[in-house]
Amino acid sequence: MKDDLYADLTGLIVRNVRREPIEDVFDCLQTGRNGTLHFKLCVQNEVASESYEEAQFTYMPQLDESRDRELIDLLPEFLTDEITFPRPQAAKFYSRVSKSLMEPPE
């Protein structure tokens, strides 16, 4: 129920979560007026990182050249490739993903 509310408010749907030895893998869909972005977000867990704040996130877009052509053309280039960033940058990352899918293209 709370997942449904979160998805309704943000457009973020977490389809699956997998706990692995050194990271947690989240299979996500971010929806917006410009389309739907499928991506995986890996977050280092307590085994791999020295502290909560030092955990690294890895964004892995699950883009298909034919299915997602319009979305690929619309997304900023950094969202079409795998990137890694520290936990303190997670909110900024999500803001950019959301903005890319919600604001009219320039």
Query: Coil, strand, or helix at residue 101?
Result: helix
**pLDDT greater than 90 at residue 9:** no
- On the 0-12 / 13-18 / 19+ scale of CB atoms within 10 A, 64 is exposed
34-83 confidence digits (pLDDT tens): 999 999 999 998 776 778 888 999 999 999 999 999 999 999 999 999 99
- Predicted pLDDT at 45: 87
Rounded-to-integer distance, Cα 83 and Cα 86, Å: 10
pLDDT at 3 over 80: no
Confidence of residue 105 (pLDDT cuts 50, 70, 90): confident
**Interatomic CA distance for residues 96 and 100, integer angstroms:** 6
pLDDT digits (tens, 9 = 90+) for 79-100: 999 999 999 999 999 999 999 9
Evaluate whether 11 touches 30 at the Cβ level (below 8 Å).
Answer: yes
Pick the CATH number of 2-92 from 3.40.50.300, 3.40.50.1820, 3.40.140.80, 3.90.1150.80: 3.90.1150.80
| Mean pLDDT, rounded, for 3-11 | 83
The β-bridge relationship of strands 35-44 and 12-19 is unpaired
What letter represents residue 87's amino acid?
Answer: R
Question: In Å, how far from its chain's centre is CA 74?
Answer: 16
Q: What is the pLDDT of residue 17?
A: 97
Query: Within a 10 A sphere around the Cβ of 44, how many other Cβ atoms?
Result: 20
